[in-house]
Structure 1
Amino acid sequence: MNKNVGGIDRILRIVAGIGLIAVSALTDYIGPWGFIGVVPLATGLIGWCPAYLPLGIKTCRKA
């Protein structure tokens, strides 16, 4: 599994994921947005996005 998510992309995903989870936690209703927030958080932390594979997108620098 090669990384395909780069620096700025990772930061934005982590911030968005934490934001969605935090907002849903503060409203005492997890709902779909709380669960959706897990996806960008996980892909940001791991540095790999399965949706980028079929599209051939790679936002990280070449190794």
Structure 2
Amino acid sequence: MNINVGTIDRVLRIVAGLVLIALAATGTVGWWGWLGVVPLATGLFRFCPAYTLLGVNTCPMKK
């Protein structure tokens, strides 16, 4: 499993995931807020299966 999620992308995924989970936990949004687990997990593991399928990589090039 290669890393394919860069730093800015990672931070945005973690923040969005935590916000969605918090909104779902407080009852502000419906059940779909629990889908925030997906961006949270991809941000924490720095790997996105969809990026692999699409050939996208937001990590900086290694020299």
Q: So what's the TM-score if we normalise by structure 1?
A: 0.89
Unpaired segments ≥5 residues, structure 1 = none
Structure-1 separation of matches of 2:52 and 2:36: 21
SS in structure 2 of the partner of residue 51 of structure 1: helix
Deviation of the 1:62 alpha carbon: 2.1
Aligned residue number for residue 17 of structure 1: 17
Looking at structure 2, the residues matched to 56 and 42 of structure 1 have their Cα atoms a distance apart, in angstroms, of: 20
Contact 2:11 2:43 in 1 (8 A): yes
Give the Cα separation in 2 of the matches to 1:29 and 1:12.
Answer: 20
Alignment of 1:8-47 (within 5 A): 8-27=8-27, 31-34=31-34, 36-47=35-46
Aligned-pair distance for 1:28?
Answer: 7.5
Q: Which residue of 1 aligns with 2:48?
A: 49
SS at match of 2:57: coil
Aligned length: 62
Match of 1:4 in 2: 4
Residue type of the alignment partner of 1:12: L
Structure 2 residues not aligned, in runs of 5+: none
How many Å separate the matches in 2 of 1:39 and 1:46? 11
Runs of 4+ in 1 over 6 A off after TM superposition: none
